[in-house]
């Protein structure tokens, strides 16, 4: 644990939070081919240097190894964000969209940095676009989409992206978002017993969903919906315990990780966990 006194700690620079990511998942840095000498430039060019824009990064707690860093923006408090997303979804369901943050000037205003409200780990399915479903605008959601909204077994790129949003961008709410009629989950159910070879990398894609198929066995109700939910629950569980970055802030309650499912027919998102 870093024992430097909080009051003597200089304002976070982009290099410090990234150092946290490096310690937590060196693979992330390697995978984006950012070497040590060019990291600062990478952050500057990618518009991730929110510290430079005068925002107090809420990653101080992680960088210092302390538990109680305050979130400088009340709107990013996980409870506040968790209230905001269903409100947007309610607008979506009732056709009362306000389309926030969709004008060119909204995009331009974010050119120098971002401070998203939440990470959404969603399915790649074309019908489940988080910004639309929650009626949010540019810069609001840090979206990681992969078929089946897989977390465990998805590899370091998915987990590293989520860790990056938390450690560097200061996000404090993660939502794993499954959806009805998920094709990846259907495929996992269909092929779990058949043990047949699937073409290309599709087998590798559905393999991580198999534990959810087993977990849902014996649950009353619709089998597909049960596996969809179990798959989300497994993702939530994995992220809550993901060392060393997410587990640390999840344990203190500073980071909230929730599950949700989106019903295609109604547009309604049900949050749980």
In this complex, which beta carbon is closest to Zn ion, that of residue 76 or of residue 179?
Answer: 179
How far CA 159 is from CA of 80, 148, 150, 215, 272, in Å, comes to 24, 15, 10, 22, 21
Closest CB 145 distance from Zn ion, rounded Å: 9
In this complex, which beta carbon is closest to Zn ion, that of residue 61 or of residue 122?
Answer: 122
Q: Which residues bind Zn ion (CB under 5 A)?
A: 123, 125, 182
In this complex, which beta carbon is closest to Zn ion, that of residue 125 or of residue 254?
Answer: 125
Closest CB 176 distance from Zn ion, rounded Å: 12
Closest CB 148 distance from Zn ion, rounded Å: 6
In this complex, which beta carbon is closest to Zn ion, that of residue 91 or of residue 145?
Answer: 145
Helix (H, G, I), strand (E, B) or coil at 162: helix
Closest CB 125 distance from Zn ion, rounded Å: 4
In this complex, which beta carbon is closest to Zn ion, that of residue 123 or of residue 245?
Answer: 123
Give the burial string for 201-227 (b: 16+ CB within 10 Å, else e).
eeeebbebbbebbebbeeeeeeeebbb
Closest CB 128 distance from Zn ion, rounded Å: 7
In this complex, which beta carbon is closest to Zn ion, that of residue 151 or of residue 182?
Answer: 182
Q: Which of 98, 158, 94 is nearest to 123 (CA)?
A: 158
Closest CB 178 distance from Zn ion, rounded Å: 7
Structure tokens at 19: 């150092």
Q: How far apart are CA 84 and CA 181, in angstroms?
A: 26
Cβ atoms 208, 154 nearer than 8 A: yes
What residue spans of the chain are helical by DSSP H? 15-24, 26-31, 39-46, 60-64, 78-93, 104-109, 130-133, 156-167, 183-191, 202-206, 210-215, 223-240, 246-252
């Amino acid at each position: 644990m870093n024992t430097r006194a909080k009051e003597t700690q200089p304002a976070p620079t982009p290099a410090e939070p990234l150092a946290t990511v490096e310690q937590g998942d060196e693979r992330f840095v390697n995978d984006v081919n950012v070497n040590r000498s060019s990291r600062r430039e990478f952050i500057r060019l990618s518009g991730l240097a929110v510290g430079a824009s005068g925002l107090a990064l809420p990653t101080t707690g992680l960088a210092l190894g302390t538990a109680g860093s305050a979130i400088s923006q009340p709107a990013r408090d996980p409870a506040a964000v968790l209230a905001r997303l269903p409100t947007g979804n309610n607008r979506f369901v009732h056709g009362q969209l306000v389309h926030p943050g969709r004008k060119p000037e909204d995009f331009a205003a974010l050119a120098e940095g971002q401070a998203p409200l939440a990470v959404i780990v969603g399915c790649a399915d074309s019908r489940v676009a988080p910004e639309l479903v929650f009626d949010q605008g540019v810069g609001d959601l840090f979206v990681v989409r992969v078929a089946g909204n897989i977390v465990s077994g998805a590899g370091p790129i998915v987990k590293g992206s989520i860790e990056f949003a938390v450690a560097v961008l200061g996000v404090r709410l993660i939502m794993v978002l499954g959806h009805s009629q998920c094709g990846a989950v259907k495929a996992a159910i269909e092929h779990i017993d058949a043990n047949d070879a699937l073409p290309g990398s599709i087998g590798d894609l559905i393999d991580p969903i198999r534990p959810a198929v087993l977990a849902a066995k014996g649950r009353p109700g619709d089998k597909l919906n049960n596996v969809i939910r179990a798959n989300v629950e497994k993702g939530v569980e994995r992220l809550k315990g993901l060392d060393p970055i997410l587990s640390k802030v999840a344990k203190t309650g500073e980071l909230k990780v929730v599950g949700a499912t989106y019903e295609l027919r109604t547009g309604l998102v049900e949050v749980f966990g």
